[in-house]
Every structure is written in structure tokens, then in C-alpha cells.
Amino acid sequence: MNFSLTPTLEQFVRDQARSGNYNNASEVVREAIRLFMRTEKINAIKMENLKAAIQVGDEAINRGESIAFESDEDMDSFFAKL
């Protein structure tokens, strides 16, 4: 697999490889991809949690268990009472 990096990213990879924390540039890139994969997994979990929370909210609205705010002041007042 071949890919291109911007000069800035290439320099960053070289610097990281030279830092002694990695043996070579390939290790730096592999670690970056692992971190990206972890971030994507976390984002997918957050999205599923958000979808579930929206579903719970929609179900509550359908049961009439909701409050409609007519203004920002109404919302502020509601939260101030909590």
C-alpha cells in the first residue's frame, strides 16, 4: 500500500521515529491508524447512544411526557428549579 503525506505530516512522522519512541516511520503510521480506529469506534458508540436517547425522548413525547418551552426564559426558569 502506498500513500502520500503532506510535508508537515511527513516531518512529524520522521520526528516521531527519531524520538526513540518508535523504531521507524511504519510504526508511527501504524500507531496513528490504531488511534484513528479507536476514535472511530468511540464515535460509533456515541452515535448509537445518541440514537437510543432520541428514541427514548420520542417515546416520552408520544406518551405525552414532555414539556414544551415557548421561550428561552421558560427553559431557563425550568432548569433553575431543578
CB 67 within 8 A of CB 57: no
Whole-angstrom distance, CA of residue 74 vs CA of residue 26? 56
Q: Where are the domains of the chain?
A: 7-80
CB 60 within 8 A of CB 44: no
Whole-angstrom distance, CA of residue 42 vs CA of residue 35? 11
Q: What is the pLDDT along the chain (82 residues), one digit of tens a residue?
A: 899 999 999 999 999 999 999 999 999 999 999 999 999 999 999 999 999 999 999 999 999 999 889 999 999 999 999 8
Whole-angstrom distance, CA of residue 66 vs CA of residue 59? 10
